[in-house]
Amino acid sequence: MQHALAELRAQDPFKGHPKGYIENGGFQIVTTVDKRAEAAAINAADITQKNAPDADQGQDKDWQAAMVSIQPGTGRVLAYFGGANGAGSDYAGWYYDEDGVPTGYGSHPAGSTFKVYDLVTALKQGVSLQSYWDAPRTPKAFPGAGRGPENPIRNASTAKCQPTCTLSESAVASLNIPFFDLTIHLGAANVLETARDAGIDYMWDGNNKRQDLTKANIHPDMVPEHFGNELGIGQYGITVVDHANGMATMAAGGKRANAHFVMTVKQKGNTVYSEKLGIVKDLGLTPQQIADLDATLVKVSAGHFSDTWQTAAKTGTWEWRAADPDKNSHVWTTGYTKVMATAVWVGTKSGKALHSRQAGYGVYGNNFAGPIFKQYMRDATSALFPHPDASLLHFDAPANTGNLMPDGAIASPTPSFVPPPPTPDPGPSPTNNPPTGLPTPTLPTSIGPGRRTPSPKP
């Protein structure tokens, strides 16, 4: 309700009126929120209730979850959960109250879920997601990028492909070193522009100050003034609602619509306001590039809620503080199908580390935000699309676009197959037929487990 009212106060014919104009004006406000999706969101994200996933029940009272689900192509907010108390703190976003005061606690470091915007920027620049990047198991310094030996970047998870992994493998395993390196070569400002164009309207800088990306010149006003290369590994805060909108943009083939809460407003039977639908930004990705992105993200198991619906997803984790890198305070699972995009965050009200009843401090995006994501997507999809068209169920096959050796990439650790020289043909005989050609082997690939993704603060 607060988001709907704040949205209307900024629109004609409601702006400029005194307090209470909307509330007391006899308006009939129809929101975009779908009752069926909202019920599924409350059941999954209200972790104080018995309907929530078992993994998230019975945790410390300091635990808090938030989630937002958006319809791709329209920007309609289908479900919104910012907290169990509708008049209390909002952990999924923020809004201007009736006095014009920013209200809400919905800003959280995105961790590795932000790497989706790295991948999109790479595709836009012609970088193949199958290109190989340095991914050592030990921390790596980047002195020229402000991360010297005293403060290196580390991979907080491992993968079978290490020490050399493709961008696709690195994304699934949530490796930080390749993505920090990638951000340097792509340009942090370019990554931030992609995120903004996809749906991230606001980001909180290193001083925890909200920056309006929609009204700023990304370079040089935002980068490097407020944001460094760490944005590529998700250090800076964003809102759950913005992140859900970014995922909806990917689900719509790279075409963004504005997230909104109000569909129509009537007064005395007359329509006085209608939602503004339409694509407001095209990221410029080809269908083949979108297929490559989808093909990487479907490998993240935390998003698989159904054997019927193919789901692209990304998990993410951000540590509590640099002195305690094994304790996390923000965990995410975000993702989409062709018909629905959702972002789930789990953290604490106090900002302290998450400590679970089952796993102690082993709280990550896949094992605590993931179950909420999967339960919501399962229940909401079943309710809204009980008999889906087959064309909506699967993404297109990957096209493997882009340059395999862009700036910053390294050579493949597996040499390309070179057929041996042909042997002399002895000619046909009853027991010796002519050779019919050499088979082309399929080289195996190894995809590391998509597990935890905390990253060190600079």
Q: Is residue 322 part of a domain?
A: yes
pLDDT of residue 417: 54
Q: Is residue 237 part of a domain?
A: yes
* Cα–Cα nearest to 373, from 342, 415, 346: 342
Q: Is residue 10 part of a domain?
A: no
Q: Is residue 269 part of a domain?
A: no
**Residue 199 confidence class, pLDDT cut points 50, 70, 90:** very high
* Token pair for 279: 């694509």
**Element housing 202 (H / E):** strand 202-204
Q: Is residue 73 part of a domain?
A: yes
* 29-41 pLDDT tens trace: 999 999 999 999 9
Q: What percent of the chain has pLDDT over 90?
A: 86
d(CA 146, CA 224): 11
d(CA 83, CA 182): 36
* 89-116 pLDDT tens trace: 999 999 999 999 999 999 999 999 999 9
Q: Which one-letter amino acid corresponds to residue 220? A: P
Q: Is 52 helix (H, G, I), strand (E, B) or coil?
A: coil
Q: Is residue 449 part of a domain?
A: no
pLDDT of residue 420: 63
Which whole number is the average pLDDT over 182-199? Answer: 98
Per the structure, how many domains does the chain have? 1
Question: At 356, which CATH number?
Answer: 3.40.710.10
For residues 132 and 105, the answer to whether their CB atoms sit within 8 Å is no
d(CA 338, CA 326): 35
Backbone angles phi and psi of 318, in degrees to 5: -130, 135
Torsion of CA 145, 150, 156, 158, to 10 degrees: 90
**Which CA distances in Å does 301 have to 165, 296, 298?**
19, 11, 7
Q: What percent of the chain has pLDDT over 70?
A: 90
* 361-380 pLDDT tens trace: 999 999 999 999 999 999 99
Torsion of CA 46, 346, 80, 3, to 10 degrees: 120
Q: Is residue 450 part of a domain?
A: no
pLDDT of residue 188: 98
**Which CA distances in Å does 252 have to 255, 285, 358, 393, 422?**
6, 11, 38, 14, 50
Number of H helices, E strands in the chain: 9, 18
**Residue 419 confidence class, pLDDT cut points 50, 70, 90:** low
Q: Is residue 7 part of a domain?
A: no
Q: Which one-letter amino acid corresponds to residue 454? A: P
What is the model's pTM? 0.90
pLDDT of residue 364: 96
> Domain range holding 136?
33-258+278-392
d(CA 123, CA 401): 8
